[in-house]
């Protein structure tokens, strides 16, 4: 069977091995379960304890020895429903907290924030769709999708679809060597010019209004968001100078 669904509902690799082994052999002692599942004997009790808390494994005492047994597979639905109910409640709590957090952030004087991870980088792009209105524009210096980063091109393909749908424009200075690699949706409602590679780097800069975001796309992506109008104006001057010499 495809084990991916078990991963997606929150089971670890060890938990999957132990659970499937129990389904196959029925009741089993620690040593039997370790052999069948391929999980070390020292880990079996810990894993079974976690599966018990999830409600999908039980224990039976036979001949004064503990035997483990998988509960009926439909108990997985109970576990999943409990998990989704908890997530839904957490979502409601977060929704209630957001206005308070927004008010709190307005009192802070922080002008620069460091972001780490691909999801954080993606969230900055999602914020563009919220911050800008139809007809407004932002600027980008440098475009790449990282090396071997799964799902990154697909994210930008979808992002630009949403950008175009909302009517947000973009002007880009792009590395000439990635011209053919650009996602198709990037070309709508955009102006793109190309600079030779020696004038570019792997660093990407995007800016609009009083926000400037400088980042690198990699497995351990990192970026710096600066909220300062003068910084944005400085990048705009830099952008305009290169725009004049870039090729269409």
Domains of the chain: 1-108 (1.10.10.10), 110-245 (3.30.870.10)
Angle subtended at Cα 211 by Cα 209 and Cα 212, rounded to the nearest 5 degrees? 120
The pLDDT > 70 percentage for the chain reads: 96
Lowest mean pLDDT among 87-96, 108-117, 137-146, 211-220: 108-117
Dist CA 58 CA 53 (whole Å): 9
Dist CA 218 CA 117 (whole Å): 9
Do 124 and 156 touch, CB atoms closer than 8 A? no
The owner of tokens 């069948």 is: 36
pTM of the model: 0.60
pLDDT at 163 over 60: yes
């Amino acid at each position: 069977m495809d084990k991916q669904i078990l991963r997606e509902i929150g089971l670890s690799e060890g938990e999957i091995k132990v659970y499937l082994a129990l389904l196959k052999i029925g009741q089993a002692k620690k040593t039997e379960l370790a052999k069948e599942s391929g999980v070390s004997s020292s880990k079996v009790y810990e894993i079974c304890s976690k599966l018990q808390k999830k409600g999908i494994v039980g224990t039976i005492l036979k001949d004064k020895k503990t035997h483990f047994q998988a509960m009926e597979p439909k108990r997985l639905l109970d576990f999943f429903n409990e998990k989704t109910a908890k997530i839904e409640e957490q979502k409601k709590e977060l929704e209630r907290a957001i206005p308070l957090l927004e008010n709190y952030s307005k009192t802070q004087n922080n002008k620069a924030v460091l972001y780490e991870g691909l999801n954080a980088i993606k969230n900055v792009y999602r914020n563009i769709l919220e911050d800008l209105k139809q007809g407004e524009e932002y600027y980008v210096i440098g475009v790449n999708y990282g090396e071997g980063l799964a799902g990154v091109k697909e994210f930008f393909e979808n992002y630009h679809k949403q950008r175009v749908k909302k009517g947000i424009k973009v002007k880009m200075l792009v590395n000439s060597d990635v011209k053919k690699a650009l996602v198709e949706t990037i070309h709508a409602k955009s102006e793109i010019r190309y600079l030779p590679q020696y004038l570019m780097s792997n660093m990407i800069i995007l800016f609009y209004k009083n926000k400037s975001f400088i980042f690198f796309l990699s497995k351990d992506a990192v970026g710096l968001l600066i909220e300062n109008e003068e910084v944005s104006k400085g990048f705009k001057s830099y952008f305009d100078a290169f725009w004049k010499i870039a090729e269409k």
